[in-house]
Homo-oligomer: A and B are copies of this chain.
Amino acid sequence: MIHKQPVYANYAATTPALTEAVCKELRAYLMETHFNMGRNFEGLESGAIALRARRAVAGLFGVSACLRVIFTSGATAALNMAIHGLVRPGVHVLATSIEHNAVARPLEALRKAGVIDLGWLPCAPDGSLEPETVRKAIRKNTGLLVMTHASNVLGTILPATDCFKIAREYGVFTILDMAQTGGSLPYTIDDCCDIAVFAGHKGLGGLAGTGGFVLGERAVAEMRPWMAGGTGSASHSLDMPDFLPDKFEPGTQNTFGILSLAASIEEIIREGCETIREHERALTARFLAGLRGIKKAKPYGPLDAERSVAVVPVVICGHDAGDVARRLFEKHGIITRSGLHCSPLAHKTAGTFPEGAVRFSFGRGSTEAEIDTILEALDML
């Protein structure tokens, strides 16, 4: 039986619904623009939509040059592109022990192929990382540091700026995976971050199949194209163009998805990323406080809403995580995500591998009443 008014607590996977403002634009595009073929001449319409979205992303993250915003099919493609674009054979790469498989799997494939050496920076069981750990791990041939901005399992916010400053001292390039923080944690991309990757369909509120990355100044010169193809520019040449954004955007873009992203980010900027962060922080604090009264529920992560995004993994003692998630859904209409959350490393770091946990994650649409419903349901388990 599916509960009539579901409680969505799986924002870390995807936003459950587009806002009305975003839907309105998409419906208009479907009904009008897409049929107005005159505006399709040489793709002017899609170019204008992409430019609007680039400006929105640049505005949200405090980037001056919007042509440094590159769109991809999502954070996974962006991370693959960033990693392969910056890696050189023989280089030593560092990443944290709480990375998502979108980082861990491409790196592990490169290590297995003998292209890179790979070192995992040890995070504490709550996911936290001491910046000086970076300095200790850097070797002569260290060339790249890849780091999540916040763990998709534990919620832990990592000290990216401090870590990247240390990396910069040693000339090490840096990639920040903002999949869990874009749109829900205010952040200005600074000079120490060479590539910042974002997912479109989570905190940024766009459709699935969107995302991308922002290039810092150093990366513009260093990064090589990973995917190649037609760009509608420099078409005489069999090489990818060397200018932005074409250098990293071969093929026909997902204009409809990019429109959803533009409309949603503009709304987030109007609403204020700080306001969204405060909303999610308060809900997380309420959830953590409530969990303290439920004996069999053992939460993981920092257990401190100031130090985490709105993500809390919970183990119910004596119960399989998958069973708990199913019962929460079937009896109470509560939607969570159980298992390993595509991040075995984070679960190993926390000590919840291989059993996993039930992850509760909240977002802009979450309410105090929903938090209370979840707490009541957990208490009844």
Q: Which residues of A contact B (CB under 8 A)?
A: 2-3, 6, 8, 10, 13-14, 16-18, 23, 26-27, 30-31, 34-35, 37-38, 40-43, 46, 72-77, 79-80, 100-102, 104-106, 108-109, 199, 201, 207-210, 225, 227-232, 235-240, 250-257, 329, 333, 335, 337, 339-345, 353-354
Contacts and interface: CB of A to CB of B under 8 A. Distances in A.
A27 B31 CA distance: 9
A232 B344 CA distance: 11
Contact of A339 (B3, B235, B252): B235
A263 to B, nearest CB: 12
Contacts of A250: 76, 101-102, 105
A254 to B, nearest CB: 2
B254 A208 contact: yes
13 contacts: A8-B37, A27-B31, A79-B229, A101-B229, A101-B231, A102-B228, A102-B230, A102-B251, A105-B228, A106-B228, A109-B228, A208-B252, A256-B257
A238 B335 contact: no
Contacts of A257: 209, 254, 256-257
B6 A37 contact: yes
Contacts of A337: 42
A230 B10 contact: no
A153 to B, nearest CB: 11
B108 A238 contact: yes
A348 B8 CA distance: 56
B77 A251 contact: yes
